Each structure stands twice: as C-alpha cells, then as structure tokens.
Amino acid sequence: MDTKLQDILKNDKFEAITRLETASLEYPQILYSHKQRLCKKLPNFLTEVCSMVNMPSRSACEQMKDLCCKGKFPAISCELGTFTVHSLSQLIRIHDLRDVKSAVISEQKWLSKQINVPNEACCISKELAKVFTDKIFHTPDVSIVLDNNSYILASDLATVAGNGWVHFSIMLGIAEILNRQSCQTSALMVNDLVMMNEDNLNDYVDTHISPTVKYLILFANVGKTGNGDFFFQQSRAKRQSLDFDLY
C-alpha cells in the first residue's frame, strides 16, 4: 500500500489531505469477493488494512459492516481478509478517497480543454480561474471554501468543473448570498416547499418573504432516472447481493 495512504490511515488524516494530494495516491486494487463468513467470536488474526494490496468493493465493505452492526458480530471474513467494523470503516473511507481521485482527474481534463468564446466579455480571467482551481484542488474535500458562505464545500464547488449536475449545496449557497444582498429579492429552494402542508407553507412564507420583497427566485434540485423521469430526491442505489455463512 502507498506509504502516504498508510500514514493517512494510521494518523486519521482523511479530512486533512487536499483533493489534489488524494489524486496522487496509489490505492489497493479492487477485487470482488462473493463469499462471506460472520464470526461469533473475535478471531486471533485480523487483516491489517495498511498492509492490503487488494481490497473488497465498496458495496461489499458496506454490506459486511451492516451485517456486523445489525447482528452485533465482532468480525466478518471474506476471500480478502477478516475485518472488524472499524477496519471496514477504514476501507470505506479509502473508497471515498478513490472516488475523489477519479473526480479530480475528470475535473483536470475538463478544465484543460480549450474553449472558443464569442467575445472577451465571456472570458474568465486567469486570476479568477486560479482562485477556483486552488479552492477545489488545494483544499480537503470536506472543507468549506467560501468565507461568506456556510454551505459550499470543496467537493461541492468542484461539481462546477464538468458536464454534470450542479450540487444542491451550491444552489443553497447562491440563495443565501442573494438573500443577503437585497431585501427586495427572496431566493427559495423549491425542494424545501414541495413536501410542506398548507400551514407549514404559510409559516415558511411569512418567515422568509418580507413585505419589502418584490422579486422571487426559485431553485429546484432535481435528478433524472434512466427512463427520463425527473425527481426531487436522490435515488438509492441497490447493493450487490452477497452470500454469507456463520461459523
């Protein structure tokens, strides 16, 4: 295993490493393990995460952790090792770092593309571009990146660099900034409103829309299914079905 990754594991530096540093790490190879065994007693030998060259998939780690927690088993084994809830939590966090690495690589490719703009007014200054890249690459994934905003993390701001959906918290942050800048404008998230009953909605309107408001800006955070249907809440991915035994 990468020595820097070992240091992160041993000293719990997951939230201190920057997104760019995360992308420079080498990670254990993912191998799929379909056979599991729950341990009624804590085994004498447990797999040391720091020494692993190969690791189970995220779905396998999450399922093994859930099985241990729900059944109150001290450990669980698969073809790749024997793990406790703590070591499985570490493996899941390694998967989190792997995901950040993949995201950073995609963001770097997207930002490096040359774009033909119609005129200079559409150009972003090099200074602003550097501020943006510094905030998304040289900041830990879970750190707040804007001094005047409590919503937007580095991982959220990074979603701007790409062709995907803008993160929910960015829209919340924009709404917060707009509400602070003008007493005549109120920016609201539709997601906060659609599930309210009439009484709660009236209370919300009374609280968030003052008599001085002349303009409303409404945001909606939506997703899209494979069938083309739009939804307000994120769909939950189905976990892989794995076999397990007791011993």
For 125-146, the DSSP string reads PHHHHHHHHHHHHSSBTTSB--
**Of 90, 109, 128, which residue sits at a domain end?**
109
Given 109, 144, 179, the domain boundary residue is 109
Query: Residue 90 pLDDT > 90, yes or no?
Result: yes
Q: What is the pLDDT of residue 137?
A: 96
What is the domain range of residue 76?
A: 3-109
105/170 same-domain check? no
Cβ within 8 Å of residue 46, ≥6 positions away: 75, 81, 82, 83, 84, 87
What band does 241 get if pLDDT is binned at 50, 70 and 90?
very low
Whether 34 and 99 share a structural domain: yes
Burial 27-55 (b: 16+ CB within 10 A, else e): bbeeeebeebebbeeeeeebbebbebeeb
Token readout for 194 is: 């659609």
**24 and 104 share one domain:** yes
- 100 & 174 share domain: no
pTM for this predicted structure: 0.75
Residue 152 resides in a domain? no
Taking the mean position of all CA atoms in its chain, how far away is CA 32?
A: 23
Choice between 189 and 246, residue whose per-residue pLDDT is larger: 189
**What pLDDT is recorded for position 125?**
82
Total number of domains in the chain:
2
Q: Is residue 120 part of a domain?
A: no
Q: What is the pLDDT of residues 188-209, one digit of tens each?
A: 888 778 778 889 888 888 887 8
* Residue 28 domain flag: yes
Q: Would you state the pLDDT for residue 83?
A: 96
105 and 34 part of one domain: yes
Residue 223 has pLDDT above 80, yes or no: no
Could you give the residue ranges of the DSSP H alpha helices within the chain?
3-11, 19-23, 58-71, 85-112, 126-137, 154-157, 168-181, 190-193, 198-208
Strand-pairing partners, residue 223, are 231
Please answer whether residues 38 and 65 qualify as being in contact, where contact means their C-beta atoms are separated by less than 8 angstroms: no
- Band of residue 55 on the pLDDT scale cut at 50, 70, 90: very high
Q: Are 95 and 79 in contact (CB under 8 A)?
A: no
Q: What is the pLDDT of residues 111-124, one digit of tens each?
A: 988 777 777 777 77
Q: Which two tokens stand for residue 121?
A: 């007014």
105 shares its domain with 180: no
Q: What is the Cα gyration radius of the chain?
A: 23
Q: Domain ends where: 73, 89, 109?
A: 109
**Same domain for 103 and 9:** yes
Banded pLDDT at 148 (limits 50, 70, 90): low
Assess whether pLDDT exceeds 60 at residue 246.
no
Same domain, 100 and 12: yes
Average pLDDT over the chain, rounded to an integer: 85
Looking at residue 108, what is its pLDDT?
94
In contact, 17 and 68? CB cutoff 8 Å: no
Does some domain include residue 245? no
Which residue's structure tokens are 């020494």?
51
Q: Distance from CA of residue 213 to its chain's centroid?
A: 35
Residues 12 and 99 in one domain: yes
Determine the 3-state secondary structure of 28 from DSSP: coil
When pLDDT is averaged across residues 59-68 and rounded to a whole number, the result is: 95
Neighbouring C-beta atoms of residue 227, cutoff 10 Å = 5
**pLDDT score recorded for residue 201:** 87
Statement to judge: residues 100 and 172 lie in one domain: no
pLDDT at residue 53 is higher than 60 = yes
Six-digit token pair at 211? 């008599």
Question: Are 105 and 27 members of one domain?
Answer: yes
Q: Quick check: is 140 in a domain?
A: no
Q: Are residues 101 and 171 in the same domain?
A: no
